[in-house]
Structure 1
């Protein structure tokens, strides 16, 4: 267990807090862990108060210091204590950061209100198993010196990577998102991606815990971990500042985009009898004059509508297709829509959550969503769970598309289509086609109307924006209720419409930036960084 010096302990104040956390037991220890985790959620959108992440990560160091004195061996008290502390900290963090998922259960409350406890409490409880595992891994390499924060980074960082990949993955609100939203620090994603930012965030925000270990004259200069964290913070800030300053936004010639944000309430969106009125409103909004050079559809080249834009199968509604063809006057429409193969009844046919490219009444291209939301868009282990009475948690079950692939639309660069949830997966946003070509544009159509005016849409937007930085590609994002935006390959928001507003976003299309280091190396970046951090943690463990 790391020891506080008598001189610092005697002064009380801040230095007494670590001792109290280290020595805490029972429900006091659990409450400390839970509260620290919940405070960390303030580092996430829409609050974006990055220093709040100090609370869970410095507390994690002291909780593990306490666990180090509670027995030995894999079955001993030390590992059980570490796992328990990690679970309670994770439960507080995910509960405070994901409570808004319950809003989706209330859209059709008569059918899905029963699932509210599962969404609000059950999912955070399950996700907290990953920090619990991370604490156990960290405890295995724990030491008494400042290098123990590398053990924490290795354990929690590996657990975050697993959370993003196991059982199709759920990399939502990673610890690295605290840096992703912190000005130029987010540019580090172009080098190391989201999971690299996880490691950096853990080191930076846990480092203050090591400063109280030493006397006044040696708190920083002789603290290798604190100096490393400070250097990392300075390096990320300098890199991000220089990258943004050196690369002003440039644009694709001849492309004028219009993004339509209808702000349609979710409870009305899937009523087929509202279909004609919904389409009428879409077309009217899309033709709205916004400037002397944007008097309506005639002054744009590409019109883009959000995910699942229609409460019916558009391809089976000839009247709707005719109305669109008349209104668009030959312009390209890219829209979310349900697409069917066969009869689309779920037994003899298939139904997909898709993006369709239309010119007139002709379907030019489509993309079917491949990465579906567990329990939302499909039921995992359906043959086992459905007989037990377990079903999906929100309306709508979709078939899985054939996988990530480019979408081609006349007049636009090669598109990497991302439907809703697909935008949260680091390293998967811009797949290379069989012909070896990378996309030059990220297109994210989404419908966050399920979650109302909660933190959820802000968090989703931040993660999609991070994909632009990672890949060096512009992002066009169109959301039913917001946030819709045009973002360049450096993550700069050029044009946007806030959450909960009805309107259109007009803008030019930014060009792609140079291929980033992360885009070139992809999956190799995180293992290399993790191996380096493990080596430093092992050094601390060896030294005792």
Structure 2
């Protein structure tokens, strides 16, 4: 191990960049659908050794040394995001005539931009670098800060955060309810990077013992939580419909009636256990038209529903401008329809996808002929605020449309009884994207302590309990209706704000330890 570490430490130039790139690319195997987290026990020690080599270049000026460590982190991040997010380009091929030119921007530009955050992580870690356990702590703190920034800057995009690698199964997810994803990000990097001390550095026994203790506590808390049953629950019978409408023909006017007929047919099918579901859920933008323009569709939905049933679906909602000449606004909404075929509530999506649902700096991009990828109605406007949706029997849902569910701490409505996630991942085909999206939704359930109901056009639709266990789910591209009697805890463990705060405090503690170790190391050497 020491021989390998020495060879990596002595790398420089393009060879060092190549090894950083390959280490980042390897780490992608820790994410869904692969879930092979042991690769991080290789990738992060290699990153530590590369930074060890860069920190030894004392002849260079301060700015150049930081540029070197930033470059190492950037190449690591570029490999990680290039191989982890290549599938984003699939969405541009749905309307290839209009968007194929943007493939290099999506497949190379997005990873290059996100890699900046990992460059920052390494630069931050370098500021508290030492020759022992301190540098492992500093790296954990640096990545924790970088992942927090990635979830925040420019509306955020925390997809495939490193912490998900430490939570591939429910047993290893429960800690997210305590420290949130931000805390898991920092602690996971510390554990993953700890084996680096076997190749170089001091404090081997302390570092490995601390990492082993954290890993044992992580798994032990998970086992204890999963063994503790929810004693006081109430049931809600729900049917999820997964129609798997091809994205290429979804907005074809000739398919509108066919899509509506498929959804109604799937919703009407008898349940395997008998009885009638109280709630039926259709996916995001389930219908390719405005409901207000199709009273016949509302009438058909009302005829489909039994007395007391409620349908919740994703739909485009329009709103006429209050002033003369003001353009019509369109919203990506969650809509509730009762058994009379009447719209009883609608909640608009707040966190829109940049370049997907709207154009940042629209005044500029529209001038050169650019439009959003999902610009089927002229672009979406953002909702004013998030609120709960009343379902039945006093049960309230926190509606999250599409990628709203990937943001840590976004589930922050204390009155909610469950998370309702409507999405359409057909944009990305049979790629890792839908699996990664489902995993992140699964973690939001654990983080918030709320069960999850997820309806996706082509998958992955399913039911997840508040501890992240998948009760039932459809495979990708399956067509059908899924029925479950979802058990909703009466006594909530919903502490959505606390994990976010504790995660920040965890990063602060690691920063204090790293800085303290650096000061001690300098005092010893002076």
Asked if these proteins are the same fold (TM beyond 0.5), I'd say: yes
Aligned partners of 2:253 and 2:393: how far apart in 1? 33
Instruction: Note the C-alpha offset of 1:251.
Output: 4.5
Pick aligned residue for 2:375 from 395, 401, 415? 395
Structure 2 equivalent of residue 4 of structure 1: none
Query: Secondary structure of the residue that 1:187 maps to in structure 2?
Result: coil
1:270 equivalent to 2:257? Answer no
Deviations 1:29-69 (A, max 9, x none): 11100100001000000001111222321122111101111
Inter-CA distance 72–327: structure 2 relative to 1 (3 Å threshold) = farther
Q: Which runs of 5+ in 2 are unaligned?
A: 522-526
Query: Secondary structure of the residue that 2:162 maps to in structure 1?
Result: coil
Instruction: Note the C-alpha offset of 1:463.
Output: 0.5
* Residues 445 and 478 in structure 1, CA contact (< 8 A), matched pair in contact too: yes
Instruction: Note the C-alpha offset of 1:213.
Output: 3.0
* Residues 239 and 484 in structure 2, CA contact (< 8 A), matched pair in contact too: yes
Inter-CA distance 31–412: structure 2 relative to 1 (3 Å threshold) = farther
1:18-97, aligned counterparts within 5 Å? Answer: 18-71=5-58, 75-97=62-84
Query: Secondary structure of the residue that 2:175 maps to in structure 1?
Result: helix
1:208 equivalent to 2:185? Answer no
Pick aligned residue for 2:355 from 364, 371, 375? 375
1:365 equivalent to 2:345? Answer yes
TM-score (norm 1): 0.91
Inter-CA distance 27–346: structure 2 relative to 1 (3 Å threshold) = farther
Aligned partners of 1:22 and 1:28: how far apart in 2? 11
Query: Secondary structure of the residue that 2:304 maps to in structure 1?
Result: helix
* Residues 33 and 85 in structure 1, CA contact (< 8 A), matched pair in contact too: yes
* Residues 426 and 467 in structure 1, CA contact (< 8 A), matched pair in contact too: yes
Query: Secondary structure of the residue that 1:252 maps to in structure 2?
Result: strand
Instruction: Note the C-alpha offset of 1:412.
Output: 5.3
Structure 1 equivalent of residue 519 of structure 2: 542
1:340 equivalent to 2:318? Answer yes
Aligned partners of 1:334 and 1:118: how far apart in 2? 36
Query: Secondary structure of the residue that 1:470 maps to in structure 2?
Result: helix
Aligned partners of 1:189 and 1:44: how far apart in 2? 16
Aligned partners of 2:59 and 2:405: how far apart in 1? 43
Aligned partners of 1:307 and 1:83: how far apart in 2? 40
Q: Which one is further off, 85-94 or 358-367?
A: 358-367
Q: Which one is further off, 240-249 or 42-51?
A: 240-249
Instruction: Note the C-alpha offset of 1:301.
Output: 1.2
Inter-CA distance 517–148: structure 2 relative to 1 (3 Å threshold) = farther
1:288 equivalent to 2:269? Answer yes
* Residues 430 and 442 in structure 1, CA contact (< 8 A), matched pair in contact too: no
Deviations 1:70-99 (A, max 9, x none): 237874432111011000000000011100
Pick aligned residue for 2:127 from 131, 134, 140? 140
Query: Secondary structure of the residue that 1:364 maps to in structure 2?
Result: strand
Query: Secondary structure of the residue that 1:238 maps to in structure 2?
Result: helix
Instruction: Note the C-alpha offset of 1:290.
Output: 4.4
1:489 equivalent to 2:470? Answer no
Pick aligned residue for 2:389 from 407, 414, 428? 407
Instruction: Note the C-alpha offset of 1:219.
Output: 7.6
Aligned partners of 1:219 and 1:422: how far apart in 2? 42
Structure 1 equivalent of residue 424 of structure 2: 447
* Residues 50 and 182 in structure 1, CA contact (< 8 A), matched pair in contact too: no
Q: Which one is further off, 275-284 or 70-79?
A: 70-79
TM-score (norm 2): 0.94
Q: Which one is further off, 335-344 or 452-461?
A: 335-344
Structure 1 equivalent of residue 481 of structure 2: 504
* Residues 40 and 53 in structure 1, CA contact (< 8 A), matched pair in contact too: yes
* Residues 72 and 78 in structure 1, CA contact (< 8 A), matched pair in contact too: no
Pick aligned residue for 1:329 from 303, 306, 310? 306
Pick aligned residue for 1:420 from 379, 402, 406? 402
* Residues 455 and 462 in structure 2, CA contact (< 8 A), matched pair in contact too: yes
Instruction: Note the C-alpha offset of 1:520.
Output: 5.1
Pick aligned residue for 1:153 from 132, 140, 154? 140
* Residues 449 and 495 in structure 2, CA contact (< 8 A), matched pair in contact too: no
* Residues 147 and 225 in structure 1, CA contact (< 8 A), matched pair in contact too: no
Deviations 1:326-384 (A, max 9, x none): 11133211111111111799952211000110012111111100000011111112223
Query: Secondary structure of the residue that 2:351 maps to in structure 1?
Result: coil
Query: Secondary structure of the residue that 1:511 maps to in structure 2?
Result: strand
1:533 equivalent to 2:510? Answer yes
Deviations 1:500-541 (A, max 9, x none): 111111001221375548525244212211111011111221
Query: Secondary structure of the residue that 1:78 maps to in structure 2?
Result: helix
Instruction: Note the C-alpha offset of 1:410.
Output: 2.8
Deviations 1:405-429 (A, max 9, x none): 1111233511111000110111111
Aligned partners of 1:28 and 1:251: how far apart in 2? 58
Aligned partners of 1:462 and 1:129: how far apart in 2? 24
Inter-CA distance 371–224: structure 2 relative to 1 (3 Å threshold) = same
1:472 equivalent to 2:472? Answer no
Aligned partners of 1:346 and 1:440: how far apart in 2? 42
Structure 2 equivalent of residue 10 of structure 1: none
